[in-house]
Structure 1
Amino acid sequence: MKKQWIADASLLAVTFIWGATFVVVQNAISFLEPLSFNAVRFWIAGICLLIWLLLFQRSSLQHFNRSLLYAGFWMGLWLFSGYALQTIGLLYTTSSKAGFITGLSVVLVPLFSFFFLKQKPTANAVFGSIIAAFGLYFLTMERAELSINQGDVFVFFCAVSFAMHIIITGKYSAHYPTLLLTIMQIFTVAVMCSIGAFLFEDAPNMWNGAILAKRQVWTALLITSLFATAAAFLIQTNFQKYTTAARVALIFAMEPVFAAVTAYIGAGERLSVSSIIGCIGILCGMIVSEIPIFSWFSKRTLTQGNPRT
């Protein structure tokens, strides 16, 4: 139980990092296109972790094999798919709708856990996920149209990809060395983002000194590569083995909450009543998932039904 609480707290810290860097990334991609930005970000993160491996954990290389390569590739594939599909979807839909649809992975993860891992989610996890989904709606969908377009479809499959990334990480993280698995995952994303940038963006800008020298770009790359990528995915890969996929999805649902709060504090953005209700809803979803309300209710019912107890 103690390891689970430590894992949940560590993953919540990762979610805070992702949410807090949202504004920084938004500023950077106004100069460097999304796939190009992520390519550079993941290359830097992967190289930093590789240097750390060679300097301090070279003995881990004896565990490198085809199975680990396969596991890291699949984790990276789903992670890249999430980023790429979200980027494509944002060309055709609004940021608010994309944020809500992406957040629906909080509902998809318990469902996928049941179908692919045969893990039956607890009633608390299901109820907490539903509450969090409603919270996401209030946080992201204020004044947004309810119609569906092709961008929404792309973003929905982005949510599927992020949900599958959580599922796959939970499956493999307990069987392979954390650092090696994280490095393989990150380099997979770096390679795929680079290919995507060459196909769909002005890829040479990735190494354009004038663009990279802009303060908004190099600070965003430094912060996201070291903290939001290298450290974040290392922590997720290491700690997810101690908790459930459904709990991870609920914790990650806090990302737009942290993004909204940091935007309010750092950028002076206004938090509407709907946004505040949404933040509270997501927080309540997390709390409900942690408190065994249904277990207490069942025990109380059994106790009342048995006079000898």
Structure 2
Amino acid sequence: MNKEKLLIIASFFSIYFIWGSTYLLNKMAVAEIPPLLLAAVRFGIAGILILLIAKLLKKDLVITKKQLLNSTIAGFLFLVYGNGVFVWALKYVDSGFAALLASTQPLFVLFLLRLIDGKRLQRKSIIGVCLGIVGMYLLVSQKSITTSDGMVLGIFMIFSCVLSWSYGSVFVSKADVPKNFFVSTGYQMTMASILLIFWSQIFKEDYTVLSQISPKVQFSVLALILFGSIVAFTSFNYLLKVVSPEKVSTSAYVNPVIALFLGWYFLNEELTTQSIVASCVLLTGVYFITSRKRIAKPKVTTKPQKI
């Protein structure tokens, strides 16, 4: 097995298992650290480290005003709203359940491409959308969920985060951002951190808790920075360069399975029969969407997603 194949396998492991574990890590961390502050610390440190590594690798860090603006917009869509608010919602929603809701991203992207680019839906996509809607209904219609304090608000906010992330994917595919995915990721994280600090101040989050966090949460934050932000995001962008986007998008239905198991095992999160059935229906829908064939015409060129 050559070096490139080993790197591809390692990268898939990263986006499958590391991203699947970030729901658990965020759930643990947000119990002691305000969500916007948590995201600001995570992406600020990760962004600076990525840019330093890029400098050591002699990558060009020069960025135009347009690229900086687009990186800031992408950072907001992906990391400020898409991740920061998502982490806030974990205060009210189980980590595994939240991961299942996040797996609807391919469905949202499909709708956005239909609205923005006028791309017609293929038969597999239509089946996937129908299954996705049924799965979402089964998931969020459970009485035990709708009666929980803050659960409905948390679910609504998570769906809005998925929409933000999905639109970010469409935006970045067309936007002028740094060509090197490592540099692009570093700028997006750094700009997102600045925005997160601003909003954290607006919402008057308590910064003094950083001096009081437990060793368990310290480990969670460190793992989120090193593995969730640097290793997994870099692996994700690398895979988009060397394999098809459809294969990379399979993480959408592997992450929730990992998150469900970890949430059940480490946090004793409840797994109802209806949730299991809903997850099977929902993830089958995601599979149909991500496994659809590419349409050869009309010719459309899209850049890989960079986050």
Counterpart in the other structure of 1:108: 108
Give distance in 2, aligned partners of 1:9 and 1:127: 32
Counterpart in the other structure of 1:209: 211
Shift of 1:218: 1.2
Counterpart in the other structure of 2:182: 179
Check 1:90–1:32 CA distance in 2 against 1; reply closer, same or farther (3 A cut). closer
Counterpart in the other structure of 2:167: 164
Give distance in 1, aligned partners of 2:8 and 2:289: 15
Counterpart in the other structure of 2:192: 189
Give distance in 2, aligned partners of 1:60 and 1:110: 34
Check 1:16–1:215 CA distance in 2 against 1; reply closer, same or farther (3 A cut). same
DSSP-derived class of the 1:54 partner: helix
Q: TM-score, normalised by structure 1?
A: 0.74
Cα offsets for 1:243-267 (capped at 9, x unmatched) = 55x8876743543332112223444
Cα offsets for 1:172-215 (capped at 9, x unmatched) = 49972111110111112211111122121434236x3332xx21
Check 1:288–1:203 CA distance in 2 against 1; reply closer, same or farther (3 A cut). same
DSSP-derived class of the 2:146 partner: coil
Counterpart in the other structure of 1:21: 22
Q: Indicate yes or no: 2:41 matched with 1:72.
A: no
Give distance in 1, aligned partners of 2:282 and 2:153: 27
**Bigger CA drift: 193-202 or 96-105?**
96-105
Shift of 1:149: 6.7
Identity across the alignment (%): 21
Counterpart in the other structure of 1:298: none
Shift of 1:49: 0.7
Shift of 1:71: 2.7
Give distance in 2, aligned partners of 1:68 and 1:200: 29
Give distance in 1, aligned partners of 2:290 and 2:38: 36
Give distance in 2, aligned partners of 1:44 and 1:26: 20
Q: TM-score, normalised by structure 2?
A: 0.74
Q: Indicate yes or no: 2:128 matched with 1:125.
A: no
Shift of 1:160: 1.9
1:230 corresponds to which letter in structure 2?
I
Counterpart in the other structure of 1:34: 35
DSSP-derived class of the 1:27 partner: helix
The structure with the largest alpha-carbon Rg is: 1
Shift of 1:154: 4.2
Q: Kindly indicate which of the two structures has a greater share of residues assigned to helix.
A: 1
Uncovered stretches (5+) of structure 2, i.e. residues with no partner: 296-307
Uncovered stretches (5+) of structure 1, i.e. residues with no partner: 296-309
Any conservation in 1 of the 2:122–2:292 contact (CA below 8 Å)? no
1:68 corresponds to which letter in structure 2?
Q
Check 1:195–1:137 CA distance in 2 against 1; reply closer, same or farther (3 A cut). same
Cα RMSD (Å) = 3.9
Check 1:149–1:9 CA distance in 2 against 1; reply closer, same or farther (3 A cut). same
DSSP-derived class of the 1:61 partner: coil
